[in-house]
Amino acid sequence: MTDALQITRDGGVVTLTMNEPASRNALSDAMREGLSSAMQDLSVDADLQAVILTGSGGVFCAGGDLKKMLANHKAGLVTGAEDILPRMKYLHRWITLLRDLQVPVIVAVDGPAYGAGLGLALTGDIILASERASFNASFCKVGAVPDGNLFYSLPRMIGLQRARELFYTGRTVHAEEAQRLGICMEVLAVDDLLPRAQAIARMMCDTSRTAFAMTKAISARSMELDSNALLELEAQAQAICLSSTYHKDAIDRFTKKQPPRFDFR
Protein backbone atom coordinates (compact mmCIF):
# COMPACT_ATOMS: atom_id res chain seq x y z
CA MET A 1 0.00 0.00 0.00
CA THR A 2 1.09 3.59 -0.71
CA ASP A 3 -0.48 6.87 0.36
CA ALA A 4 -1.79 7.28 -3.17
CA LEU A 5 -3.22 3.78 -3.55
CA GLN A 6 -5.01 1.86 -0.82
CA ILE A 7 -5.01 -1.92 -1.15
CA THR A 8 -7.38 -4.05 0.89
CA ARG A 9 -8.00 -7.78 0.73
CA ASP A 10 -10.95 -9.97 1.63
CA GLY A 11 -9.96 -13.56 0.90
CA GLY A 12 -9.20 -13.72 -2.81
CA VAL A 13 -10.77 -10.34 -3.58
CA VAL A 14 -8.41 -7.36 -3.72
CA THR A 15 -9.76 -3.80 -3.78
CA LEU A 16 -7.56 -1.03 -5.18
CA THR A 17 -8.70 2.46 -4.16
CA MET A 18 -7.05 5.49 -5.73
CA ASN A 19 -6.73 7.84 -2.80
CA GLU A 20 -5.58 11.33 -3.75
CA PRO A 21 -8.95 13.11 -3.90
CA ALA A 22 -7.35 16.55 -3.56
CA SER A 23 -5.91 16.06 -7.06
CA ARG A 24 -9.05 14.21 -8.22
CA ASN A 25 -7.02 11.00 -8.14
CA ALA A 26 -4.91 12.17 -11.07
CA LEU A 27 -2.17 9.84 -12.25
CA SER A 28 0.59 11.47 -10.23
CA ASP A 29 4.01 9.86 -9.99
CA ALA A 30 2.98 8.32 -6.66
CA MET A 31 -0.28 6.99 -8.13
CA ARG A 32 1.50 5.50 -11.13
CA GLU A 33 4.12 3.89 -8.92
CA GLY A 34 1.43 2.47 -6.63
CA LEU A 35 -0.55 1.03 -9.54
CA SER A 36 2.56 -0.34 -11.22
CA SER A 37 3.71 -2.08 -8.05
CA ALA A 38 0.22 -3.47 -7.39
CA MET A 39 -0.09 -4.86 -10.92
CA GLN A 40 3.27 -6.60 -10.69
CA ASP A 41 2.23 -8.24 -7.44
CA LEU A 42 -1.28 -9.19 -8.57
CA SER A 43 -0.14 -10.64 -11.89
CA VAL A 44 1.72 -13.40 -10.01
CA ASP A 45 -0.71 -13.83 -7.09
CA ALA A 46 -1.86 -17.47 -7.19
CA ASP A 47 -4.58 -16.83 -4.58
CA LEU A 48 -6.14 -13.87 -6.38
CA GLN A 49 -9.75 -14.43 -7.48
CA ALA A 50 -11.07 -10.97 -8.35
CA VAL A 51 -10.02 -7.30 -8.37
CA ILE A 52 -12.11 -4.22 -7.69
CA LEU A 53 -10.73 -0.87 -8.89
CA THR A 54 -12.27 2.36 -7.62
CA GLY A 55 -11.49 5.90 -6.45
CA SER A 56 -12.04 7.85 -3.26
CA GLY A 57 -13.69 11.19 -2.53
CA GLY A 58 -16.39 10.94 -5.18
CA VAL A 59 -13.83 10.81 -8.01
CA PHE A 60 -12.58 7.86 -10.02
CA CYS A 61 -9.58 9.36 -11.82
CA ALA A 62 -9.08 12.71 -13.55
CA GLY A 63 -6.37 11.34 -15.83
CA GLY A 64 -2.93 12.83 -16.29
CA ASP A 65 -1.40 15.14 -13.69
CA LEU A 66 -1.60 18.36 -15.70
CA LYS A 67 0.03 20.48 -12.98
CA LYS A 68 3.07 18.21 -12.99
CA MET A 69 3.15 18.29 -16.79
CA LEU A 70 3.17 22.08 -16.77
CA ALA A 71 5.88 22.17 -14.11
CA ASN A 72 8.02 19.81 -16.20
CA HIS A 73 7.65 22.08 -19.23
CA LYS A 74 8.56 25.18 -17.22
CA ALA A 75 11.58 23.41 -15.73
CA GLY A 76 12.81 22.50 -19.21
CA LEU A 77 12.41 18.78 -18.55
CA VAL A 78 10.45 18.27 -21.76
CA THR A 79 12.36 19.24 -24.88
CA GLY A 80 11.18 16.59 -27.31
CA ALA A 81 9.31 13.34 -27.85
CA GLU A 82 12.18 11.37 -26.35
CA ASP A 83 11.32 12.88 -22.95
CA ILE A 84 7.70 11.69 -23.13
CA LEU A 85 8.13 8.19 -24.56
CA PRO A 86 9.57 6.60 -21.38
CA ARG A 87 6.57 7.81 -19.36
CA MET A 88 4.18 6.39 -21.94
CA LYS A 89 6.01 3.06 -21.98
CA TYR A 90 5.84 2.96 -18.18
CA LEU A 91 2.07 3.59 -18.31
CA HIS A 92 1.65 0.88 -20.92
CA ARG A 93 3.56 -1.71 -18.90
CA TRP A 94 1.31 -1.58 -15.84
CA ILE A 95 -1.98 -0.90 -17.62
CA THR A 96 -1.31 -3.96 -19.80
CA LEU A 97 -0.77 -6.05 -16.67
CA LEU A 98 -4.13 -4.82 -15.37
CA ARG A 99 -5.85 -5.52 -18.69
CA ASP A 100 -4.42 -9.04 -18.85
CA LEU A 101 -5.05 -10.18 -15.27
CA GLN A 102 -6.50 -13.68 -15.45
CA VAL A 103 -9.25 -12.91 -12.94
CA PRO A 104 -12.35 -10.69 -13.12
CA VAL A 105 -11.62 -6.97 -12.86
CA ILE A 106 -14.65 -4.99 -11.67
CA VAL A 107 -14.36 -1.22 -12.01
CA ALA A 108 -16.56 0.94 -9.78
CA VAL A 109 -16.68 4.48 -11.18
CA ASP A 110 -17.94 7.15 -8.79
CA GLY A 111 -17.57 10.66 -10.20
CA PRO A 112 -15.31 11.65 -13.10
CA ALA A 113 -13.29 9.18 -15.18
CA TYR A 114 -11.51 11.57 -17.53
CA GLY A 115 -8.65 11.26 -19.99
CA ALA A 116 -6.33 8.44 -19.03
CA GLY A 117 -8.75 7.79 -16.16
CA LEU A 118 -11.31 6.76 -18.77
CA GLY A 119 -8.73 4.45 -20.33
CA LEU A 120 -8.04 2.99 -16.90
CA ALA A 121 -11.75 2.39 -16.28
CA LEU A 122 -12.20 0.62 -19.61
CA THR A 123 -9.55 -1.99 -18.76
CA GLY A 124 -12.17 -3.65 -16.55
CA ASP A 125 -14.27 -6.68 -17.45
CA ILE A 126 -17.34 -5.22 -15.75
CA ILE A 127 -17.79 -1.47 -15.33
CA LEU A 128 -20.29 -0.14 -12.80
CA ALA A 129 -21.11 3.54 -12.42
CA SER A 130 -22.70 5.64 -9.71
CA GLU A 131 -25.44 8.10 -10.60
CA ARG A 132 -22.89 10.93 -10.43
CA ALA A 133 -20.29 9.17 -12.61
CA SER A 134 -19.12 10.88 -15.80
CA PHE A 135 -16.79 9.90 -18.60
CA ASN A 136 -14.72 12.12 -20.87
CA ALA A 137 -12.03 11.50 -23.48
CA SER A 138 -10.73 15.00 -22.87
CA PHE A 139 -7.39 14.78 -24.67
CA CYS A 140 -8.35 17.09 -27.55
CA LYS A 141 -8.77 19.93 -25.04
CA VAL A 142 -5.04 19.91 -24.30
CA GLY A 143 -3.79 19.05 -27.79
CA ALA A 144 -3.15 15.37 -27.12
CA VAL A 145 -4.29 12.06 -28.56
CA PRO A 146 -6.22 9.49 -26.50
CA ASP A 147 -4.06 7.19 -24.40
CA GLY A 148 -4.53 4.52 -21.75
CA ASN A 149 -5.32 2.02 -24.56
CA LEU A 150 -8.46 3.97 -25.53
CA PHE A 151 -7.80 3.59 -29.26
CA TYR A 152 -8.35 -0.12 -28.67
CA SER A 153 -11.00 -0.25 -25.96
CA LEU A 154 -13.47 2.53 -26.73
CA PRO A 155 -14.23 1.72 -30.42
CA ARG A 156 -14.75 -1.92 -29.50
CA MET A 157 -17.10 -0.93 -26.71
CA ILE A 158 -19.28 1.66 -28.45
CA GLY A 159 -18.34 1.51 -32.15
CA LEU A 160 -15.84 3.51 -34.18
CA GLN A 161 -18.14 6.39 -35.18
CA ARG A 162 -19.27 7.12 -31.61
CA ALA A 163 -15.74 6.71 -30.26
CA ARG A 164 -14.46 9.24 -32.79
CA GLU A 165 -17.21 11.65 -31.80
CA LEU A 166 -16.09 11.46 -28.17
CA PHE A 167 -12.42 11.75 -29.16
CA TYR A 168 -13.09 14.76 -31.42
CA THR A 169 -15.44 16.71 -29.13
CA GLY A 170 -14.09 15.92 -25.68
CA ARG A 171 -17.64 16.14 -24.37
CA THR A 172 -18.75 14.67 -21.07
CA VAL A 173 -20.90 11.55 -21.03
CA HIS A 174 -22.95 11.19 -17.86
CA ALA A 175 -23.92 7.91 -16.25
CA GLU A 176 -27.25 7.22 -17.95
CA GLU A 177 -25.90 7.94 -21.43
CA ALA A 178 -22.79 5.89 -20.65
CA GLN A 179 -25.02 2.94 -19.86
CA ARG A 180 -26.98 3.40 -23.10
CA LEU A 181 -23.76 3.55 -25.11
CA GLY A 182 -22.35 0.48 -23.39
CA ILE A 183 -19.52 2.16 -21.49
CA CYS A 184 -20.89 0.88 -18.19
CA MET A 185 -23.06 -2.11 -17.40
CA GLU A 186 -25.11 -0.70 -14.51
CA VAL A 187 -25.85 2.66 -12.89
CA LEU A 188 -26.35 2.58 -9.14
CA ALA A 189 -26.92 4.92 -6.23
CA VAL A 190 -23.62 6.11 -4.74
CA ASP A 191 -24.06 4.07 -1.56
CA ASP A 192 -24.86 0.92 -3.57
CA LEU A 193 -21.89 1.11 -5.94
CA LEU A 194 -19.12 -0.54 -3.93
CA PRO A 195 -21.40 -3.16 -2.31
CA ARG A 196 -22.57 -4.18 -5.80
CA ALA A 197 -18.96 -4.46 -7.00
CA GLN A 198 -18.09 -6.53 -3.93
CA ALA A 199 -21.09 -8.81 -4.46
CA ILE A 200 -20.10 -9.47 -8.08
CA ALA A 201 -16.50 -10.11 -7.03
CA ARG A 202 -17.58 -12.61 -4.37
CA MET A 203 -19.75 -14.47 -6.87
CA MET A 204 -16.85 -14.65 -9.30
CA CYS A 205 -14.75 -16.37 -6.64
CA ASP A 206 -16.69 -19.58 -7.21
CA THR A 207 -15.90 -19.80 -10.92
CA SER A 208 -13.29 -22.00 -12.55
CA ARG A 209 -10.22 -19.79 -12.65
CA THR A 210 -8.90 -21.74 -15.64
CA ALA A 211 -12.13 -21.36 -17.62
CA PHE A 212 -12.42 -17.68 -16.79
CA ALA A 213 -8.81 -16.93 -17.75
CA MET A 214 -9.25 -18.64 -21.11
CA THR A 215 -12.62 -16.99 -21.76
CA LYS A 216 -11.11 -13.59 -21.00
CA ALA A 217 -8.05 -14.16 -23.17
CA ILE A 218 -9.95 -15.50 -26.18
CA SER A 219 -12.78 -12.95 -26.05
CA ALA A 220 -10.19 -10.16 -25.94
CA ARG A 221 -9.10 -11.28 -29.43
CA SER A 222 -12.58 -11.92 -30.78
CA MET A 223 -12.60 -8.79 -32.96
CA GLU A 224 -9.12 -9.37 -34.35
CA LEU A 225 -9.14 -13.04 -35.38
CA ASP A 226 -11.25 -14.74 -38.02
CA SER A 227 -13.82 -17.39 -37.22
CA ASN A 228 -11.52 -20.35 -37.92
CA ALA A 229 -8.78 -19.00 -35.66
CA LEU A 230 -11.29 -18.49 -32.86
CA LEU A 231 -12.65 -22.00 -33.37
CA GLU A 232 -9.13 -23.38 -32.94
CA LEU A 233 -8.61 -21.44 -29.70
CA GLU A 234 -12.07 -22.54 -28.55
CA ALA A 235 -11.25 -26.21 -29.17
CA GLN A 236 -7.93 -26.03 -27.32
CA ALA A 237 -9.44 -24.21 -24.34
CA GLN A 238 -12.45 -26.52 -24.14
CA ALA A 239 -10.22 -29.58 -24.17
CA ILE A 240 -8.46 -28.23 -21.10
CA CYS A 241 -11.64 -27.14 -19.30
CA LEU A 242 -13.67 -30.30 -19.93
CA SER A 243 -10.88 -32.42 -18.45
CA SER A 244 -10.53 -30.25 -15.34
CA THR A 245 -11.44 -31.13 -11.76
CA TYR A 246 -13.82 -28.18 -11.62
CA HIS A 247 -15.81 -29.43 -14.61
CA LYS A 248 -16.01 -32.98 -13.27
CA ASP A 249 -17.27 -31.67 -9.94
CA ALA A 250 -19.81 -29.41 -11.70
CA ILE A 251 -21.36 -32.16 -13.78
CA ASP A 252 -21.39 -34.49 -10.78
CA ARG A 253 -23.35 -31.85 -8.85
CA PHE A 254 -25.72 -31.45 -11.81
CA THR A 255 -26.49 -35.16 -12.04
CA LYS A 256 -27.09 -35.30 -8.28
CA LYS A 257 -29.39 -32.25 -8.50
CA GLN A 258 -27.07 -30.32 -6.18
CA PRO A 259 -26.67 -26.55 -6.61
CA PRO A 260 -23.63 -25.46 -8.64
CA ARG A 261 -20.71 -23.80 -6.90
CA PHE A 262 -21.11 -20.84 -9.23
CA ASP A 263 -24.51 -19.14 -9.34
CA PHE A 264 -24.39 -15.58 -10.69
CA ARG A 265 -27.29 -13.53 -9.32
DSSP 66-81: HHHHHHHHHTT---SH
Residue range 23-48: average pLDDT? 95
The answer, yes or no, to whether residue 206 has pLDDT greater than 90, is no
Side chain identity at residue 226, one-letter code: D
> Do the beta carbons of residue 114 and residue 183 sit within 8 Å?
no
Q: Which CATH superfamily is domain 5-204 in?
A: 2-enoyl-CoA Hydratase; Chain A, domain 1 (3.90.226.10)
For residue 91, the number of C-alpha atoms closer than 13 Å in the C-beta half-sphere is 20
Which of 33, 41, 26, 30 has the alpha carbon at shortest distance from 97? 41
DSSP 187-236: EE-HHHHHHHHHHHHHHHTTS-HHHHHHHHHHHTTTTTS-HHHHHHHHHH
The whole model's pTM is what? 0.91
Q: Where are the domains of the chain?
A: 5-204, 209-255
In this predicted model, what pLDDT tens digit does every residue of 126-159 receive, in sequence order? 999 999 999 999 999 888 999 999 999 999 999 9
